[in-house]
Amino acid sequence: LAKTTQPISMDSYEGQEVNITCSHNNIATNDYITWYQQFPSQGPRFIIQGYKTKVTNEVASLFIPADRKSSTLSLPRVSLSDTAVYYCLVGALNSGNTPLVFGKGTRLSVIA
Amino acid sequence: DAGVTQSPTHLIKTRGQHVTLRCSPISGHKSVSWYQQVLGQGPQFIFQYYEKEERGRGNFPDRFSARQFPNYSSELNVNALLLGDSALYLCASSYSPGQEGEKLFFGSGTQLSVL
């Protein structure tokens, strides 16, 4: 599995756009990228997933450059409730035997 | 629709005891994974089961075991508890492991404290 590297922490003011970049230099051809959000004492929650280019849903956007060696989670106009830990995961398509591995994540603090 | 349910939510044990944690996946999901999360760290993979068979095992001692039942629910057992086993134990379900675009759905976890 490709190892991921993320910033340990980030701070942002309410209403700003937040971009969290994840590095996965050894990503394989059949790997996809998934981001999860976790609040204290809760399980992680799926945010967004992509393979290449750009994916957007009602919560966030995911930008993946052509070489796929990194990805950027973009959270538009964050609020205090977006304060959480964000994890970037790389997982193999149709693997069946390769579990998803979490790193330490990025702790986002949103300030009023 | 019910999400992933875990029981109990909190548990206090003493060193040397045994514990059983339970997980019910989302209806229709056939894969269950267990993770251990120590405060300040990301979740660490323990086991993955699919169709009642073990599909993956993390770097945990043999004191940790699990099984999946015909209804796809799962149990995680930990024997001879150590202080270091204190953690949040998370269960996640998915339709199929490694399925294209697999997404894990997590329960709220069981907070285990070993005294």
Q: Looking at the predicted structure, is the pLDDT value of residue B100 above 80?
A: no
Distance (Å) from the C-alpha of residue A2 to the closest C-alpha of chain B?
Answer: 15
User: Which residues 67-106 on chain A approach chain B with CB closer than 8 angstroms?
Assistant: 85, 87, 91-105
pLDDT band at A96 (very low <50, low <70, confident <90, very high): low
Q: A66-92 burial by CB neighbour count: b if 16+ within 10 A, else e?
A: eebebbbbbbeebeeebbbbbbbbbbb
Position A44 scores a pLDDT of 96
Interface membership of A50 toward B (CB under 8 Å) = no
- Give the rounded percent of residues in chain B with a pLDDT score beyond 90: 83
SS3 A87: strand
Chain-centroid distance, C-alpha A24: 11
Position A101 scores a pLDDT of 81
Q: Looking at the predicted structure, is the pLDDT value of residue B9 above 70?
A: yes
Q: How far apart are CA B41 and CA A12, in angstroms?
A: 22
pLDDT band at A49 (very low <50, low <70, confident <90, very high): very high
Determine which of A16-30, A36-50, A54-68, A93-107 has the lowest per-residue pLDDT on average: A93-107
Q: How far apart are CA B4 and CA B74, in angstroms?
A: 11
Tokens representing A90?
Answer: 């790389």
Q: Looking at the predicted structure, is the pLDDT value of residue A79 above 80?
A: yes
Average pLDDT across chain A, whole number: 91
- Give the rounded percent of residues in chain A with a pLDDT score beyond 70: 93
Q: How confident is the model over B28-67, as pLDDT tens digits? A: 999 999 999 999 899 999 999 998 999 889 999 999 999 9
Which residues sit opposite A106 in a β-bridge? A86
pLDDT band at A92 (very low <50, low <70, confident <90, very high): confident
Mean of pLDDT values over A55-78: 96
Position A100 scores a pLDDT of 78
Position A93 scores a pLDDT of 63
Neighboring chain A residues of B96 at a CB cutoff of 8 Å: 96
Q: How far apart are CA A48 and CA A37, in angstroms?
A: 10
- Give the rounded percent of residues in chain A with a pLDDT score beyond 90: 75
CA distance readout (Å), B18 to B35, B82, B85, B88: 18, 10, 11, 16
Would the CB atoms of B105 and A46 count as touching at under 8 Å?
yes
- How many contacts (CB atoms, under 8 Å) link A and B? 74
